[in-house]
Amino acid sequence: MIKKSIALILIAILFVAIFFTLANDLPFGDNRTTTGVSDKYIYHGVNDTGASNLVTAIVVNYRGFDTLGEVTVLFVAATGVGAVLYNMGRPAGKKRKKTEASLIVRTGSRILFPMMLLFGAYIFVHGHLTPGGGFQGGAVIATAFLFKYVSDTRYHIDHNKFTATESVVGMTFALVGIMGLLLTGYFLFNFLPNGSPGELLSAGIIPIIYVAIGIKVGAELTGILDNMMEVEQ
């Protein structure tokens, strides 16, 4: 009880200290978006990278290395889920009963599945032009596969194909980075022309990387879904 009270008091003191320090230091209500490094991004982003979507310019160009790390984190997470759920299938006869989806869901998924795939592809292909990008497009693609699982209890993906696809696009990302290293001297440096902002083929290496990320995220999330679906063998 005493320990808890001391902890609570300490937290309260810390909260007050941090809150008031910050409140004093931060000019409340001022326009802080155009100071320091953000200034550079906002005024030079389009010229530097050729991407009309500033978020993408930062995520994939200025901080491309960080994104490579994020993709790796996702890969490790997918591997972890696979490792935890591997061989954890319920004992025979105790499998959860699956309810067959209604005709509406089954038929709807037949029609919507390719459209959802195309929409996901649209999002990651236009990552440098419109809101969204590789991660979002990949999530849409995984949703399309989730729809398949929901509508067909016997559906399950070919793991080898998905792993192969994932490896190829993952290597594409790394290769683009190494190309930058060889051609310009910096890892993941843009070595392609920027083009004119707003067009599909602009922003140098960003579209290539985002297509790779999109496919990779889609394949990884689908793999996680597959692991969680307790597919009956």
Partner 1 sequence: MTAGNVSKYVYTAIILFLLWIVLTSTFFWEEILAGLVLSAMVAAMGYSLFTDKGLGNFSPKRLAYFLVYIPVFLWDVIKANLDVAYRVLSPKMPIKPGIVEIHTDLKSDIAKLGLANSITLTPGTLTLDIDDDRLFIHWIYVRTTDIKEASEEIGGKFERYMKVIFE
Binding test (CB under 8 A) with partner 1, winner from 66, 199, 230, 232: 199
125 near partner 1, rule: CB under 8 A: yes
Alpha-carbon gap, residue 54 to 76, rounded angstroms: 28
Query: In this structure, what token pair is assigned to residue 47?
Result: 């010229």
Binding test (CB under 8 A) with partner 1, winner from 21, 72, 79, 102: 102
Residue nearer to partner 1 on the CB measure, 82 or 108: 108
Q: Report DSSP letters for 167-203, one per residue.
A: HHHHHHHHHHHHHHHHHHSSTT---S----TTSSS-S
Residue nearer to partner 1 on the CB measure, 114 or 193: 114
The answer to whether the beta carbons of residues 202 and 47 sit under 8 Å apart is no
16 near partner 1, rule: CB under 8 A: no
Alpha-carbon gap, residue 126 to 199, rounded angstroms: 9
Looking at 2-10, 25-33, 107-115, 184-192, which segment touches partner 1 (CB under 8 A)? 107-115
The answer to whether the beta carbons of residues 223 and 82 sit under 8 Å apart is yes
Residue nearer to partner 1 on the CB measure, 190 or 202: 202
Binding test (CB under 8 A) with partner 1, winner from 2, 22, 88, 104: 104
Output the smallest distance, CB 219 to partner 1, in A.
13
User: 224: Cβ–Cβ under 8 A, 6 or more apart, which residues?
Assistant: 77, 78, 81, 82, 142
Residue nearer to partner 1 on the CB measure, 32 or 161: 161
Alpha-carbon gap, residue 216 to 164, rounded angstroms: 10
Residue nearer to partner 1 on the CB measure, 58 or 215: 215
119 near partner 1, rule: CB under 8 A: yes
Angle at 119 between CA 118 and CA 124, to 5 degrees: 95
Output the smallest distance, CB 106 to partner 1, in A.
7
99 near partner 1, rule: CB under 8 A: no
Ramachandran area for residue 51 (φ above 0: left; ψ -120 to 50: alpha; else beta): beta
Binding site for partner 1 (CB under 8 A): 102-104, 106-108, 110-111, 113-115, 117-119, 121-122, 125-126, 199-201
